[in-house]
Chains A and B, each alone.
Chain A
Amino acid sequence: MSTEAQIVSDEIQNTASEAPVAAPETKSMSIIVTKGSLDWAYPPFILATTAAAMGLPVTMFFTFYGLPLLLKDLNLKLTAAGNPAMKMPMMGMHMGLPNLLTAIPGVDAACSTMMKNLMNKKGVASIEDLRELAIEADVRMIACQMTMDLFEYSLDDMIEGPELGGAATYIECATQSDINLFI
């Protein structure tokens, strides 16, 4: 190693040893929210609020059927159609619903009400509550501009807080996040 290179090397080492001890690294998280049914609304809001409570900066990007989760009034529903895993505890057993029955008017609404009652009974937060907690915890929310145009929503329809953005806005956020989820 030449003398000059040695000096540079020493300087680098000195700089490294004199650098202040870094604070524990803050991780960050982003979530793409693509689904707006009652059941699928839970994972993104549960993870966003919990990560924020654990000190992570969190960004939620609401696109396609996830976008209506930002509407002022939520009336979330679910369907048992195509979901053989959806079995509710009833009369001492777990009961599912054949696909054919889910086509009967009122069945999905009844299932949704049953699920909300069950959640309430078990102390599970409502999506409205989790969303409020997410806003309180400064979770950044981005409403997909393209979906707003596609489904003809305006910011007036939405709760206070979300900003508008597109794919590039999300990608920039994702490159700076340690955890990126698509739900």
Chain B
Amino acid sequence: MSEHILDAKGLNCPLPILKARKALKDVPSGETLEILATDPGAVADFQAFCRQTGNELVEHSEEDSVYRFLIKHTAA
């Protein structure tokens, strides 16, 4: 469980990414942000987002159509 949580459920592309970017700004480097989303496109998009920005996608999972992403703020 991360202490930084973003609920992006019900939001469609590109809002989960945009809100995650904003939320990451308040996450100190080295700490993680947990994101909950229902947009199936978010799975590929968060992977691409992390590759491009240099943040680490620690894990992602799906349960009852809710996708959970754990992103470690590692980028500058």
Q: Do A and B bind each other?
A: yes
Interface pair A53/B49, CB less than 8 Å apart: yes
Interface pair B13/A54, CB less than 8 Å apart: no
A54, A125, A137: which contacts B15 (Cβ < 8 A)? A125
Interface pair B21/A53, CB less than 8 Å apart: yes
B52 beta carbon closer than 8 Å to chain A: yes
Interface pair B53/A55, CB less than 8 Å apart: yes
| Residues in A121-135 with C-beta less than 8 Å from chain B | 122-125, 133
B17 beta carbon closer than 8 Å to chain A: yes
Enumerate chain B residues within 8 angstroms of A55, measured Cβ to Cβ.
52-53, 75
| Residues in A20-34 with C-beta less than 8 Å from chain B | 24
How many A-B pairs fall under 8 Å by CB?
36
CB within 8 Å for A123 and B10 given contacts A54-B49, A55-B53: yes
B21, B39, B53, B75: which contacts A123 (Cβ < 8 A)? B39
B44 beta carbon closer than 8 Å to chain A: no
A54, A124, A137: which contacts B52 (Cβ < 8 A)? A54
| Residues in A24-56 with C-beta less than 8 Å from chain B | 24, 46, 49-50, 53-55
CA distance A125 to B20 in the complex (A): 15
CB within 8 Å for A53 and B17 given contacts A123-B10, A123-B39: yes
CA distance A50 to B18 in the complex (A): 6
B10, B12, B14, B39: which contacts A50 (Cβ < 8 A)? B14
Greatest chain A CB density within 10 A among B11, B12, B18, B20 is at B18
CA distance A54 to B75 in the complex (A): 11
A to B CB contacts below 8 Å, 5 in the list? A53-B14, A53-B17, A53-B20, A54-B53, A123-B15
